[in-house]
Structure 1
Amino acid sequence: MTHDDLIRDVLTSVRSIAIVGFSANPGRPSHGVAKFLQTRGYHVILVNPGLAGQEILGQKVHAALADIRVPVDMVDVFRRSGEVAGVTDQALALSPRPYAIWTQLGVRDDEAARRAEAGGIRVVQNHCPAIEIPQLGIPPVSAFP
């Protein structure tokens, strides 16, 4: 499977995306990506302990992945590379486990990626879904089979 095939598979297989490290600031990339994913029909779940309980972009913000009460298909990480291992541990503890863990541009942890893959989770690192969706021509969620 090529890298583009992996990205296409992930983006057309998931419906719910937890944005870990979401910012309430509209100028921050995590805010813009969350809003973009919503416009594409994904159910976006916001995660930031400092904003927990607030409603932003029409969604309640959660303190941690463990606080989310619906299945999470993908975890999109907007945290420093050094924090990916902890987020991966949280994702591996979810039941059911997410289909994918995605790390944003400039963010990678190869050891955490190996652990996630060993746990049956697909991993995309150092990419942005808001860039990949238009580049690969991924249709809105409503068009998925």
Structure 2
Amino acid sequence: MAFENPSREQIADILRSAGNIAVVGLSDKPERTSHMVAGAMKERGYRIIPVNPGASEILGEKSYPTLKDIPEPVDIVNVFRRSEYCADVAREAVEIGAKVLWLQQGIVSEEAAAIAQEHGLTVIMDRCIKVEDAIALAGGKS
């Protein structure tokens, strides 16, 4: 069966109930897309947790080298990594008990989707979380 993203209504529910969003591959460089998207999500009321082994702090938040290093629950794992790294990220997302694996626009990994879905995670691929938030929750999360 071909992969299908959740409906817009389901995505709105996911975003509305989202607590912590771990952003894997979040760059500390302000000109990078991951930095702009995560910054915008933080401004809209989301709790962002950077995951970048090369940075200690991004967007005023402590950065962690891996998902497993995050000492609190994670609802959404938002991924800004190339497709070939996504299966490993999916395995880590499963290990930490995340609810959603979200691969950003332009990122598709059937393997990562299968791993996550097999363990009960909702999977969203090739969609920008910032764009979906703007459409689904036009008034903002809070």
What is the TM-score of this pair, normalised by structure 2?
0.90
1:35 paired with 2:6, answer no
1:13 paired with 2:17, answer yes
Q: Which one-letter code corresponds to 1:86 in the other structure? A: D
Q: Please state how far the C-alpha of 1:138 moved relative to its aligned partner.
A: 4.5
Gaps of 5+ in 1: none
SS of residue matched to 1:24: coil
Equivalent residues in 2 for 1:86-105, closer than 5 Å:
86-94=88-96, 97-105=97-105
1:84 paired with 2:91, answer no
SS of residue matched to 1:84: helix
Match for residue 140 of structure 1?
Answer: 140
**Percent identical:** 40
78-87 vs 130-139, which moves further: 130-139
How many residues were matched structurally?
Answer: 138
Cα distance between partner residues in 1 of 2:31 and 2:88: 26
- Would the aligned equivalents of 2:27 and 2:58 in 1 still touch at CA under 8 Å? no
Q: Please state how far the C-alpha of 1:2 moved relative to its aligned partner.
A: 5.4
Give the RMSD, CA atoms, in angstroms: 1.5
